[in-house]
Each structure stands twice: as C-alpha cells, then as structure tokens.
Structure 1
Amino acid sequence: MQTKFHSNGKLLLSGEYAILDGALGLAVPTQYGQSLEVLATETGLLEWNSYNEKGEIWFQAVLGLDGFKTISASDGKIATTLTALLNEVRTQNPDFLSTSKGAQVNTKLDFPRSWGLGTSSTLINNMAQWAKVDAYTLLRNAFGGSGYDVACAQHDLPITYQLKDGKPVINEVAFDPIFKESLYFVHLNQKQSSKEAIANYRKQQFNKNDLLDSISTITQKMVSENDLTKFEGLMDEHEAILSHTLQIPTVKSRLFPDYPNALKSLGAWGGDFVLAVGNENTLDYFRGKGFQTIVPFSKMVL
C-alpha cells in the first residue's frame, strides 16, 4: 500500500478571477510542492504533524478516528478545517481509516507558506490520492475555487484550464518561451486572501461574456507567443482588463510606476507573486525597494 504522496505547487499566469466563470487560463506546476507520508500506529488516534520548508513543525494535532474530533491542536482554526476535510474524505469514501488502529501523518512543504503556491491544494491532492477519492470534488466541497490548482498538483507540464458546465477541461501545453530567461517571479512580501479577493470580484458589475472572451484570447496568445515585446503587451492588456473589472489599480501603477518593463499580478491581486520581465540588472530595482524574493522562471516552473 502506498504511504507517501507528493503534489506540485501552482502559479496561474493568466485568467485570474475570470477562470472561476469559465475563462481559459494558463497555469504552471512549480518545482516546489508538498509531500504527505502515512505511518501505521497502534495508538487508536490520528496524529498529524505539518512541517515547513525548514523542517520545523508549523501545525500539530491529535484527532480521534471516530468523526476526527480534535483532542489537541496547536491551532484550533486549522484543526477545524482539517477535521472538515477529513470528514469530507470519509463522505466520499466511507472506508477511509475505518479499520485503522491508528496513524501518524507527516506533511512537508518545499516552499514558505507565505509564497501562496498551494499549501491547501497540494494537501487536498495528496489526501485524495491517499484516500482514493476525487480531488476536484474534495476541493469543491471543502474550499471551493476553480480547481486549476489541483490540476497543477497532478500535472508535470504547463496546462490550459477551463471550466465547461462546471467540469474542468485540462490540456497540457508546450509553454516554454524562448525568452524565459527574461521572466522572473517577484514576491510581494504579503499573503492575499483568495476568499476576500473573490468576494470583491463577485461584487463588481461587468459584461461577463466580454471578460471571458478577452481573457481567453489573451491566454491562447500567451501560450504560443515567442516575441518578448508582444508577450509584454499581452501582460499589460490582461492587467488593464482586470484592473477595470475589479476597480483596483494595477500592481505596477500602485507599487512600481517607474519600472521600465511589464509586470503582471498572479492569483489574488495584492499579494503573493507577480510576473516581471527583466534581467539581472533591472532586478536590483526590486531589491532596492525591499522585495528580496525573486525566483527566475527556470527555477520556479517544473
């Protein structure tokens, strides 16, 4: 029986927000991910240990196997979320841990939690593999979201992702631009709440069909574009459309108005990573402004 699982992290290069409503998005799995290991015990309990990228425990809990009630936990809120997730797994697979005499679960992240590469989605996909349930159903019932992050967890190549009639349509694509040495991921030193960002998106009034068509067209062009200047134009166009839709300034106009090249938000606007076009010299610009986490495309994308 398999006892160790691993899932890839994710970054959504195009389609943020609009992907929820059926726009085509371009997403890449990352070299960073999360593993989950299950060890059999005789304790009659489920002992959970979550380790960060430094090997330090960031969450611990002891749960009962009947209903996964919390016996002890280092963080009550996280324990409540974990219990709900485990119970959803058991709803899908009633035999899950039904005859277990005890288990210890150790999860290990390859990336800092603040990076936003999919702490939850990698966990969900690992748990789905462990329990032999559908990861997309587990995500939908436990957290919601489009599911592109689960798709990245399962794929080792860039993908296009689209919801059609609520079901994911996933295609692996050959997104390996010849100018990739000019692409960098810059972390904004803060984590953005996807839940709040989506709620703000839902409040806006706009023509949904126009948005979906525009974003899907940009995604299709980004996949095959091999001219860096034109790719920058697509990044700028995507930013302008989303800025108008969300009624939020672009990250470039808000934080980096004098940066000479294109910048694009990734995921929930206001946090996590941005995609920057630049080179080793221009990246001194970000370091000078206090943004020290800068990962080249080739060191981030799987």
Structure 2
Amino acid sequence: MKTFRSNGKLFLIGEYIVMDGAKAFALPTKFGQCLFVKDSSEYSNQINWSAYKADNSLWFDVQFKLDSLDIIATSNEKLAKSLQNILIQAKSLNPDFFNSKQGFSCETKLEYPQEWGLGSSSTLIDLISQWIEINPFELNQLTFNTSGYDIACAHHNKPILFSNHPQINVEELELNWNFKDQLFFVYLNQKQDTQAVVGNHYKNKLKDWDLINELSQLVLDATNVQELADFELILTDYQDKLGAFMQLQQPKEMYFKDYEGCVKSLGAWGGDFVLVTYREGMETYFKEKGYNVIIPFSDMIL
C-alpha cells in the first residue's frame, strides 16, 4: 500500500490581492488529509474510491472505469463528478498512468472536521498529484484554479510567503515572533465558499494598484514584525483598507465589536476561522457567544 499526505492551510494575510500577483503570507496546518492506495487484483481496470471524515464515517464512495474514467456507481453524484473531473485533468497531464489494466483501491481520510475548511480540495489536488506523479499547480489550474497558495501549503512544512506572478514562487519563513503563545484560532461555526466570495466581491472590481501595493507592503511587514502590538496594527490596517475597498464588513465588526484584541479574517471573509490575539477572559468571551472551537497557534500551525 502507498501512503500520501498533504497539509491543510490557513491564509494569514494577503487574501484577495494574491489573485493579482501580490505576495501572500500563509500557514500550513498540522491537520491535513491522507490518501492510501492499494493495487486491486479483484477489480481490474477500475478505481474504487472511498472518502472518510475525521471520525471515520464514510463521506462518499465512487467506482470509476480506469481507462475511460466513467462513473460506474456512487453514493454522491455531485462529489463523484468533481473527483471525476480532477482525474480526467490528471490524465491529461500523465496519460500513461491510466493505460494500465490493473485496478486501484483508494481511500482518503481527513484529519480534521470537514466543516473547518482547512483545504479538503487543495489537499486532494496535491494527494492525487503525488500519486499520479504530476505537477499539483498545473492540476490546480485545470480544476479549481485557485491562486495556488493552498497547494503550496499542502507540501511545505513551514509558514510561507507565496506569489504566483510571473510564476509560482514559494519562500519558507522562520517566524521569530515572541508572541505565538498569544495567538489563537476561533472557528466561526460556518464554512465559506472561497471561490464564490472571490468571484463576487473582488475579481470584478476595477483594480486599485496603489492600494494593492500598500497591502502588499503590509504582508511583508507582517513576516518581519517583532512585537504583538505592531502585529495587531498591521492586521487591522490591512483589514480596514481592504474592507473599505470591497465594501465588506469584517467579522470583528459583525460579531465581536466589544473584543479588545485583534480579530483577523483568514482567507475569504465571512466563515471558517479567524485569528484572534489574546486578552484576559478571551476563552470565556468567545464561548459565551457560542464559539467553542478555540485552538492555540502552536496546536494548529506547523
């Protein structure tokens, strides 16, 4: 049996502007997804695929013909067609892989609750790319067509500075922050569709290149900051400027107006996790509002 693993992701700062080639500061997570592949002598010319959640419950399963990638049977037509498209595009990048008449039994397993939004799609792209021996960024372009930061997080084990213009560039970072123990991730009890948000609120806007350059500098500043107070100022400044441009409310404005610490959206605004900076009584504050998933930085980030 072959085993492959990919890291999840959180987008610290640089969201939206990364689509225009600006640098982004992202965090690979300790939670990810695994793919287990066994050669199947029982079913030749067939891929039997089962996807499991973190609690070992079956997410969905599907059977494909290996040569044509036609769906034979599935428990979820929508998910099966999405996976089918990924495999079809993977085949376009490595046709020889699918010429074999042997069968495969594939199982994926999430390491975190599905609703957390840490990258079930990006890890899947990376896992399939490892298995079929193709470039994950090329497969991403042919399928979900995200900026690519999430793909980079999947196989880097340190925080990264990422850009995709004029080509993919990933720089691993050594964070010399003395305030990591004052950073926490709070789950907002709702999953965000990143592609929909980016499409609806950013892609169609006229670009303000002066603003993009200002925000890009804040991204770089965030990687070099030393003190928590300065870090909070950078994150707040970024959100204020971007929020005004996009005419979107920040989560702090919507849910946590009276919280004294910083609350930073991660990735698409409006769902998944936020980063919060510690203040006395923090845990009680968030739990009283119904936000019970509070994870220390060191427990989440590689």
- TM-score between both structures, scaled by the size of structure 1: 0.96
Q: Which residue of 2 aligns with 1:89?
A: 90
Q: Which residue of 1 aligns with 2:142?
A: 141
Matches within 5 A, 1:96-245: 96-165=97-166, 167-200=167-200, 201-207=202-208, 209-245=209-245
SS of equivalent to 1:97? helix
Superposed CA deviations along residues 183-233 of structure 1, whole A, max 9, x for unmatched, are 0011111111112101121233341x1232112111111111111111100
2:65 alignment partner AA = G
Superposed CA deviations along residues 142-161 of structure 1, whole A, max 9, x for unmatched, are 11111001101111111100
SS of equivalent to 2:97? coil
Rounded to whole Å, the distance in 2 between the matches of 1:89 and 1:199 is 25
1:205 alignment partner AA = L
SS of equivalent to 1:156? coil
Relative to structure 1, the CA distance from residue 181 to residue 67 in structure 2 (aligned partners, 3 Å threshold; closer, same or farther) is same
Rounded to whole Å, the distance in 1 between the matches of 2:279 and 2:8 is 25
SS of equivalent to 2:54? coil
- Among all aligned residue pairs of Structure 1 and Structure 2, give the percentage whose two residues are the same amino acid: 37
2:2 alignment partner AA = T
Residue 275 (1) aligns with residue 275 (2): yes
Superposed CA deviations along residues 21-42 of structure 1, whole A, max 9, x for unmatched, are 1111111110001110111112
List alignment gaps of at least 5 residues for structure 1.
none
Superposed CA deviations along residues 80-104 of structure 1, whole A, max 9, x for unmatched, are 1111100111100011232142110
Residue pair 2:122, 2:151 contacting (<8 A) in 1 also = yes
Relative to structure 1, the CA distance from residue 6 to residue 80 in structure 2 (aligned partners, 3 Å threshold; closer, same or farther) is same
Rounded to whole Å, the distance in 2 between the matches of 1:283 and 1:253 is 19
Rounded to whole Å, the distance in 1 between the matches of 2:4 and 2:190 is 29
2:154 alignment partner AA = A
2:28 alignment partner AA = P
Q: CA RMSD in A?
A: 1.2
Relative to structure 1, the CA distance from residue 74 to residue 233 in structure 2 (aligned partners, 3 Å threshold; closer, same or farther) is same
Residue pair 2:187, 2:274 contacting (<8 A) in 1 also = yes
The offset of 1:12, in angstroms, is 0.9
Rounded to whole Å, the distance in 2 between the matches of 1:33 and 1:210 is 36
Superposed CA deviations along residues 249-283 of structure 1, whole A, max 9, x for unmatched, are 11111111111111110011100100100156212
Residue pair 1:14, 1:215 contacting (<8 A) in 2 also = no
Q: Which residue of 2 aligns with 1:14?
A: 13
The offset of 1:296, in angstroms, is 0.6
Residue pair 1:18, 1:212 contacting (<8 A) in 2 also = yes
Relative to structure 1, the CA distance from residue 296 to residue 176 in structure 2 (aligned partners, 3 Å threshold; closer, same or farther) is farther
Residue pair 2:67, 2:98 contacting (<8 A) in 1 also = no
Rounded to whole Å, the distance in 2 between the matches of 1:286 and 1:237 is 23
1:218 alignment partner AA = L
SS of equivalent to 2:249? coil
List alignment gaps of at least 5 residues for structure 2.
none
- TM-score between both structures, scaled by the size of structure 2: 0.96
Q: After TM superposition, what 4+ stretches of structure 1 lie above 6 angstroms from structure 2?
A: none
Residue 49 (1) aligns with residue 28 (2): no
